[in-house]
Structure 1
C-alpha cells in the first residue's frame, strides 16, 4: 500500500469569500469537477456545509460541530480558515468483497475554526469522484481527557427528496433483550422528514434520492474510542441529524459515548453520491477505513455448510455435524459452521475429533460463541468465555491448537463506545491465533474488514433466519433482498446466510429457486454460509451443485447492470477471467430485461433460471452481446456464468 499527499496549486479548486455580513465561505471540488462542497461560517457563528453534483443540489446547508464535556465547538464560532488543497492517492488490496485491488484519489482540505475561548475545531474534508467524506479533529494535550456530549452533524435534504431507511430497534427489546442488531426491514421510498417508527432512529447506510442524484450515508474508521452513530428519529424539514446509542448499548460498566484523551478524531462521515451503478461500485467504506493492521496471509474466504439455518438447535450434535462436513467436502466448500450449544451437545474433545475428521477432507470448522455478559437474557453457550481478555486468549489458543478455523460471535449490546472497543479487542486477539471472525447480533462493520482482514462477515441484517421464524418475514423477503445490494451490502460484508431450495417448515417460501441461486453472487460476504441442507442439495440438478461448488468470495470487479432499490437487482462480478451475473426480481410481476454484456467480450456461457414452476430449474446456453434478453419471473431470479481461461481461485 502506498499513499502520496502533494499540494495542488490550481486556484479554481478553492474559493475564499469575505462577505460584508461577516460570513466566511470556502469550496472544494472532486478531481473530476462534478461534485462540489461549500463550507460556510455564518454571521451567527454556526458552521455549515452543502453539496452539489453537476451543479444540482444534493445536500442543502447542513450543520457541523461538536460539543464536549469542557467546550462548545458548535456555536459562536469564528475565524474560519482553510489549509492548502492536497490530492490524496491510495491503493490497497482486499481479501474479500466487490473489488480485490482498489485505487482512488480525492482532493482534501483541512479547515480550522475556534470558539470564543480560542479552542480549536478542525474539519478534514475529502471530495472524491463518487462522494464526500469529512471528520472532526480536536487538538490538545494527550493528558487532557474528553467526553463527547453532542455531535451537531446533519444532512439536510430538499423537501422533494425520497428516502430508503431502516429503523433502529430500541435497546433491550426483542427476544431475550437482544436488540439492537440492525435487523429491521427498510422503509422504502418514503418522503424525507418522515419520523422513524422507532425512537432509536435510523441505521446506516441510509439511502436518499435527490435532485443531484442518489446519496448513501454511512461512517467508517472506528478506532474503538468513538461510539457508533445513526440518524435521529426526527428529521424536521428533511434535516437528518447524527444520533447516538441508547443507554444500555454498552459493555457492562463501560462507556456509552466517545471518550478518550485528546487529540480527538471522529470517524469519517461519508456520503456516496451518483447514479445507482456509481453507488453500487463505491468503495468509500473501505477507502476511509484504517489500513490493515497486518497482512494475514492465512485468511481464506469461502463457502460453508451450516445445519442450524433450517434444522435449528437439534442439529447441533456429533453425527449431524459429521454429515455436514461430508456435505462441504462433496461441494468443494472449505468450511462447516457448528452453531449454538456445541460445548454441551458435543463437547471440546469430540469437537477436536470432528476437526481432525474435517481436516482429512480439506474442510475446517467454525464455532459459535455467545459474546454476552449481563446485557441480555440469552442462555445459549459457550457464554461469557470471551468477555475477559486473558480468558479469551486462552480460549482462542485452545481453538488454534484444535485446528479450528474461526469463530462466530453473537448477541452484542449495541453501539456504545465500550462495545465498539469490545469488537476490536476480539478481532485483535483472534488475529493473534489465526482465527477468522463472524459477528452476529451485531452492529454494522463500517470498514473493519479492511483493518482486520480476518473479519470475514457480520450479520447486521434481517437475514434468512427470520424467514424461517415467521411468515411475515417470508412474505416481505423478495423486496427486502432486492433492497440490500443498494444499502446494507454496498460497503460491508453481510452474513445473510442465503440460498434455500427446500421447503421451510411451517413457512411458505415466496422466492423461487432461481432467486435463491442468485444470492451467493449478488450478496457479498467473506464467509458465505449456505442455508440449504445436504439432503436438500442432493435433490437439485448436478449443474446447480457444480455452479455452487465454484463460487468465489472475492471479486476483481463488480458492476450493477440494472436495478432499483427494493424492486430488482442485476449484478455482474468477475473473478480472474470468469464473469458471474446474478439477478433477482423483488416484485410479483415478471420483468423483461435487455442486458448489455458486451464488456465481457464475445463469449458463450450458461444461464440457470426458473423452470416451469418456482421450485424447478432450467439451464440453457447464453452468449454475450449488447442486448441479451432475460426474463425474470415474479419473485424469481437467475444466474449466469461465463468461464475464462485464467480463473483466479480464492
Structure 2
C-alpha cells in the first residue's frame, strides 16, 4: 500500500489516478466546476463531465471550490464473498480522495476494469439535497443498450416495475420525455464497452439517466422525495406518491453518498465477471450468516398450478403445496414458495381458508424443505414488526416481497429496514417489483434475490425477442447483482409457433437454452418456474437443472458478444459447469 499526500490552497488544479495496471486513467479537473474524465487503453471514454451536489440552502458542492488536501492510496486486498459467483473477490484499485473547504470531498476508486466516484460530506446535523448533478459525456454518438422506464404505475414516471427490454440505438436518439434505469451499456468503439451503474445506494434515491445538453452523453435524474402517498397502481398494491418535495433527499450531514460507476472492457466477455458493485458495497452487517442457505425453489405462480395425474384439484390449497414439497424433496430443491393468494393481500394474518399453513409448514419441516411466503410491499411495511416474529416462530424461512415499484429515498430505505428486521428473525428476502441491486445483497446477505429484469413471467402475456434479451442481461443487469429471472420452462417454442398464455405458458428458444440459464444467470435463490408435472415428464432435464449449484467458488468467462451469445464456466466442489446461450442465430 502506497500513500502520497498533497496539500493545495487553490481553486484550479488537476488530479490524476491510474489503475493498478495503468490502463485506466481518471482525471479530476478543479475549475469553476468539478469535471471528471476517463481514458482506457489510450482511448478517451468519458470526456470532462461536471458533477456536484446542490443543497436546499443554495450551496453547490462542486462549484467555485477550494482544495484543502489530496490523498492517493494504492489498495490491494480481498474479501470473502457470501453466496456469490465466486468465493473470494480480489479488490485492487487506486484510491483518490480530494477534500475541499466547506466540509465536503470527492473520492474515486480506479480499477483495472472500472472507475467509481462518490461525494462525502462532514456537515453538522441534517442535510437536504435539492439535486445531484452527474454526467457521462462520451466522445461520439455511440450505439447503446438502453432500458427505458415504461410500465408506469398510475401514469407516474417514477413508479415502474424496472423491467424493460433494451432499446438499441445511438445515444443521440434517446427518447424525449423518457428516463432510463441502470445498468446501461454503451459500445464505445474499438471493441470497448462501458456500463453505467451505481453502488452502495442507501438512504438516497436511485439514479436514472436522460440525454444531457451535449447530445452525446447522459445526465442523472432522481425521484423527488415523496411527501404524500396513496394506494393505487396494479391491483391497488402499489404505494403511489401524490405530492413530492422540491428536493431528492433529507439525510445526515456527515455521510458518504452512493457510488457512480462505470465498468469498462476491451472484450465483451470481461463484463461477465466484473465485481464492481460487490466491491463498492458496504461490508456485511450480519455476523452469523450460516442460516442463509442458497438453493433452488419450486415455484407455483408461473405454471399456474398445472399439475396432472393427481387425485386433488390443483390450486391455492394445502394438497397442492404438499405435492410441491414432495417434488422439491425428490429433486433436491431446498424451498417452495407460496405466491399471491395464500393470505389476504393487505392483511398477512388472514390466511386463505384453503391453505392450512401450519400443516404445510410441519410437512415441509419433516421433509427438510423451507417455505417462503409472498407479500406485497405495502402489507409488509404495515405489518412486518408483527408478522416477522410470528411467522419465523412457525418456521417460515423468508419472504418474496413484491410491487415496490419505486426507488425514491423512502423506498430505498425501506429495503434496508426490511432486510435488517428479517435478518433478526433469520429470514431471507427475495425482492420483486423492485429496482436493480446496488450492493444491499452484500451488506445484508439474507437478501438472496432481486427481480428488476424482464424475466420468464412475461411469456404469459407478451411476444418478444427473448433469446436476444437473454444474451444481453448477463453483460448488463446481472452485473448489478442477483437476478431472479425465474427460468426453467419445459414447453419451448420457435418464433413461429410461440403463443403467450397464462395457463401452461411456454418459452422461446430451445429446451437447452432454458437449461443453460441455470449456469449463466447469477442468483443464489433460483426458481424452478414450471410445474412439478412438467419437470417429472422431462426428468433428464430436471436432473441436470437440480444438479447445478446456485453459488460458486470460481467463475471464468469463456466467450461472448453482447446481444449475440455468451459462454461461461463456473466451479463448485471441484465440478465445473459450462453454460452457453445464443440468440436466434445458430453457432
Return the TM-score normalized by structure 2.
0.88
State the SS of the aligned residue for 1:467.
helix
* Distance change in 2, residues 1:235/1:95 (3 Å): farther
Aligned residue for 2:374?
A: 368
Say what the alpha-carbon RMSD is for the aligned residues.
2.7
Deviation at 1:236, TM superposition (A): 3.7
Which of 393, 398, 409 is the aligned partner of 1:401? Answer: 393
List runs of 5+ in structure 1 lacking aligned partners. 1-5, 373-383, 592-650
Q: Residue 245 of structure 1 aligns with which residue?
A: 223
Alignment pair present for 1:196 and 2:175: yes
8 Å CA contact 1:106–1:129 kept in 2: the answer is yes
Map of 2:56 onto structure 1: 69
Following superposition of structure 1 onto structure 2, how do residues 97-246 of structure 1 map, counting pairs within 5 Å? 97-114=84-101, 119-141=102-124, 143=125, 145-169=126-150, 171-173=152-154, 179-188=159-168, 190-196=169-175, 199-211=177-189, 213-224=192-203, 226-233=204-211, 236-245=214-223
Rounded Cα–Cα distance in structure 2 between residues aligned with 1:177 and 1:191:
23
Equivalent positions of 1:448-459 (< 5 A) are: 448-459=440-451
Taking the aligned partners of 1:192 and 1:395, their CA distance within structure 2 comes to 47
Aligned-pair CA distance for 1:576: 2.4
Match of 2:361 among 344, 355, 359: 355
Please name the residue that 2:335 is paired with: 335
Determine helix, strand or coil for the equivalent of 2:361. helix
Matches within 5 A, 1:17-32: 23-32=12-21
Residue 47 (structure 1) shift: 1.2
> Offset at 1:347?
4.8
Give the direction of change, closer, same or farther, for the CA distance of 1:413–1:517 in structure 2 (3 Å limit). Answer: closer
Distance 1:228 1:97 in 2: 23
Distance 2:172 2:354 in 1: 53
**How far, CA to CA, are the matches of 1:492 and 1:561 in structure 2?**
20
Find the aligned partners of 1:101 and 1:483 in 2 and give their Cα distance: 26
Counterpart position of 1:647: none
Shift of 1:170: 6.3
Report what 2:42 is aligned to.
55
How far apart in 2 are the matches of 1:418 and 1:156? 30
Note the C-alpha offset of 1:505: 6.6
Equivalent residue, structure 2, for 1:94: 81
Deviation of 1:193 (Å): 2.3
User: Residue 546 of structure 2 corresponds to which residue in structure 1?
Assistant: 549
The question of whether the paired residues in 2 share the 8 Å contact of 1:165 and 1:202 is answered with yes
2:516 corresponds to which of 512, 515, 518:
518
Q: Which moved more, 1:74-83 or 1:337-346?
A: 74-83
User: Aligned equivalents of 1:181 and 1:456: distance in 2?
Assistant: 19
| Residue aligning to 2:3 | 8
Deviating more after overlay: 358-367 vs 65-74:
65-74
Partners of 2:319 and 2:117 in 1: CA distance: 53
Q: 3-state SS of the aligned residue for 2:381?
A: coil
Matched, 1:259 2:238: no
Per-residue deviation at 1:129? 1.4
Q: 2:292 aligns with which of 296, 299, 313?
A: 299
2:305–2:531: 8 Å Cα contact kept in structure 1?
no
Q: Within 2, Cα distance between the matches of 1:290 and 1:254? A: 29
In 2 relative to 1, CA 248–510 (structure 1 residues): closer, same or farther, beyond 3 Å?
farther
Determine the structure 2 residue equivalent to 1:418: 410
Secondary structure (helix, strand or coil) at the match of 1:193 reads helix
TM-score (normalised: structure 1): 0.79
Q: Which moved more, 1:70-79 or 1:436-445?
A: 70-79
Q: CA-to-partner distance for each residue in 1:481-503, whole Å, 9 max, x for gaps?
A: 11110000013001111010126
CA contact (8 A) 1:92 1:101 kept: yes
CA shift in 2, pair 1:246/1:586, >3 Å: farther
Which secondary structure does the structure 1 equivalent of 2:202 belong to?
coil
Greater strand fraction, Structure 1 or Structure 2: 2
Give the paired residue count. 549
Contact 1:98 1:558 in 2 (8 A): yes
The answer on whether the counterparts of 1:15 and 1:27 sit within 8 Å (CA) in structure 2 is: no
Note the C-alpha offset of 1:61: 0.9
| 1:289 alignment counterpart | 281
Mapped contact 2:558–2:569 kept (Cα < 8 A): yes
Instruction: Tell me the alpha carbon deviations over residues 93-130 of structure 1, each in whole angstroms, 9 at most, x when there is no partner.
Output: 2222221221212111111345xxxx243101111111
Shift of 1:413: 3.9
Distance 1:334 1:469, change over 3 A: same
1:284–1:242: structure 2 CA closer, same or farther, 3 Å change rule?
same
CA deviations on 1:320-353 (whole Å, 9 max, x unpaired) are: 1111111111111100011001025745971121
Query: Are the equivalent residues in 2 in contact too, given 1:318–1:346 (CA < 8 A)?
Result: no
Q: Name 2:309's counterpart in structure 1.
A: none
- My pick for the range that moved more, 87-96 or 272-281, is 87-96
Alpha-carbon distance change, 15 to 25 in structure 1, aligned in 2, over 3 angstroms = farther
8 A Cα contact 2:489 2:507, kept in partner: no
Which stretch shows the higher mean deviation, 165-174 or 336-345? 165-174
Report if aligned partners of 2:78, 2:89 keep a CA contact under 8 Å in 1: yes
The superposition leaves residues 34-85 of structure 1 with CA deviations (integer Å, 9 ceiling, x where unpaired) of 111111123xx01101100122111111111111101332564133354221
Tell me, in whole angstroms, the C-alpha distance in 2 between the residues paired with 1:156 and 1:394.
49
**Which of 65, 72, 82 is the aligned partner of 1:78?**
65
CA contact (8 A) 2:95 2:110 kept: yes
* Range that drifts further, 433-442 or 230-239: 230-239
- Provide the C-alpha distance between the structure 2 equivalents of 1:222 and 1:99, rounded to a whole number of angstroms: 23
Using the alignment, how far apart are the partners of 2:293 and 2:115 within structure 1? 32
CA distance in 2, matches of 1:246, 1:171: 16
**For residues 471 and 2 of structure 2, what CA distance do their matches in structure 1 show?**
43
